Structure 1
Amino acid sequence: MKFLSGLSVAAVAVEAHYTFPRLVVNGKQVEDRDWQVTRQTKNAQSKSGIENPSSGDIRCYSSSTAPQVATVPAGATVNYISTQQINHPGPTQYYLARVPAGSSAKTWDGSGNVWWKFASTMPYQDANKQLVWPAQNTYATHPAVIPAATPNGEYLLRVEQIALHMASQPNKAQFYLSCSQINITNGGNGNPGPTVALPGAYKSNDPGIQVNIYNIQPESYRAPGPALWQG
């Protein structure tokens, strides 16, 4: 039996992790290089996920804000390019938080009871009766549509993919996420909600975070966070 060297193990671990440095709108990348409208995350080099959902990093995991703001029409389809293959099983979710009047998407930190969820993926069973999620084992997150009724204005757009391969153990789910600075146009008069704070919306023992995905049926999985608002 062959054993991996310490260096090989490290390499495999890095390859199993990922970041989401580029936003895609209606099938087109809006960033010609990494971290232009998407805030650079603290794991830009390590690619490691967050394991403590009560950490302040669960909001945006950002080490800095981004220099630009992308214009995104309401009703647009959004997703993210991944630096590595998204090979860990688990849901992909999307949130928005509207920038308060007098603040800018380039500087606002997203604090407070301001985040609402508009998309979340559900699993299905493969031929081996394993749970898999849409866009798993691809190099881009599963797309979502910004609700057409979303009011105009500047927002932080947040994507997260929750890796559940070790989530039967406490604090072993891994959160991979990014936040982008966007300006929504052609919007509506909706009243998005319910809103939550990040951190605050998740607990480490939530059934969608601490879960044995190898012993449940697809329809029984419940992703963490608030109910969806779809306009």
Structure 2
Amino acid sequence: MLFTHTSGYLLALVAYIRVVTAHTNLFSVSSDGSTTNPTGLYIRPYYQHHNSPVRDPKSPLFLCRSEGMTTGAAKILPIVAGNDLTVVWHHNNVSPPDDTISPSHRGPCFVYMAPMESNGQGYSWFKIYEQGYDPATKLWCTDVLRENHGKLSVKIPTQINNGEYLVRTEIIALHDAGTIGGAQFYPNCAQITVTGATSGSPELYDISEVYNATDPGILINVRRGVSSYKIPGPPVYSP
């Protein structure tokens, strides 16, 4: 077989496209179940097509997949406590063929909240949602997301303080997690304003400390199949 520079370039390009389209990004959030809000409107910071994973849970990028938090969202989404926050993930765009995340990239999903004034730093985060692996259906959260075209609805707790919050969504793809550094983290943050809540005191965590590279839910070989899954990180806040 004749291997030319052109054919080599094409093979490399195909490989690159496959890698990129395997990734995912938070595209929109809403308080009414809508999936058509303008892309990136409430997301902080929002970088179009920035869908590559974070590999190190101790990296500064692990917070919101950004080098820094100096840029705010274009707008802050108002939502009433007890109502659902709907988040939507996609590969690269919101067109129907875009299927959220590759079928091979299976793993759990999480949602955290932190008071806006914390800027996500230090012990400011509490978890409000987690979904891992369901042995009964043999489905991961990512499988359910793909079935729902990237849409996930999460209830905002009623027993928290009113005010502005960062919401951190996260998917962990475990297809290469059989070795340290193989897990792929896809975190993104959005900005919301909560009203109608009663006061509450959830236990707070530092997002840079919620996982270690050797945790059972981070270092795991899912290629062989699993019968159960130990969800990493803190428990979901339950007043």
- Give the TM-score, by structure 1 length: 0.84
Q: How far has the Cα of 1:206 moved from its partner? A: 1.1
Aligned residue identity for 2:236: L
Aligned residue identity for 1:9: A
Aligned residue identity for 2:233: G
Question: 1:173-221: CA deviations, max 9, x gaps?
Answer: 111121111110111122112x111212211111111111244644x31
Q: Distance in 2 between matches of 1:146 and 1:224?
A: 21
2:60 is equivalent to residue 56 of structure 1: yes
**Unpaired stretches in structure 1, ≥5 consecutive residues:** 101-107
Question: Of Structure 1 and Structure 2, which has the larger fraction of its residues in helix?
Answer: 2
In our comparison, the structure showing a higher alpha carbon Rg is 2
Residue of structure 2 in register with 1:6 after alignment: 12
Residue of structure 1 in register with 2:5 after alignment: none
CA contact (8 A) 2:29 2:37 kept: no
Identity score, percent: 28
2:85 is equivalent to residue 78 of structure 1: yes
2:52 is equivalent to residue 45 of structure 1: no
Matches within 5 A, 1:119-138: 119-125=129-135, 132-133=140-141, 135-138=144-147
Q: Distance in 2 between matches of 1:162 and 1:197?
A: 18
Aligned residues: 216
Matches within 5 A, 1:210-229: 210-215=219-224, 217-218=226-227, 220-229=228-237
Matches within 5 A, 1:177-196: 177-193=187-203, 195-196=204-205
Aligned residue identity for 2:88: I
Match 1:33 to one of 10, 33, 38: 38
- Give the TM-score, by structure 2 length: 0.81
Q: How far has the Cα of 1:151 moved from its partner? A: 1.8
Matches within 5 A, 1:73-112: 73-84=80-91, 85-87=100-102, 88-100=105-117, 109-112=119-122
Aligned Cα root-mean-square deviation (Å)? 2.4
- In terms of mean alpha carbon deviation, does 139-148 or 115-124 score higher? 139-148
2:184 is equivalent to residue 167 of structure 1: no
2:217 is equivalent to residue 208 of structure 1: yes
Q: How far has the Cα of 1:125 moved from its partner? A: 4.6
Question: 1:103-132: CA deviations, max 9, x gaps?
Answer: xxxxx62111010001100212588xx653
Change (3 A) 1:32 1:228: closer
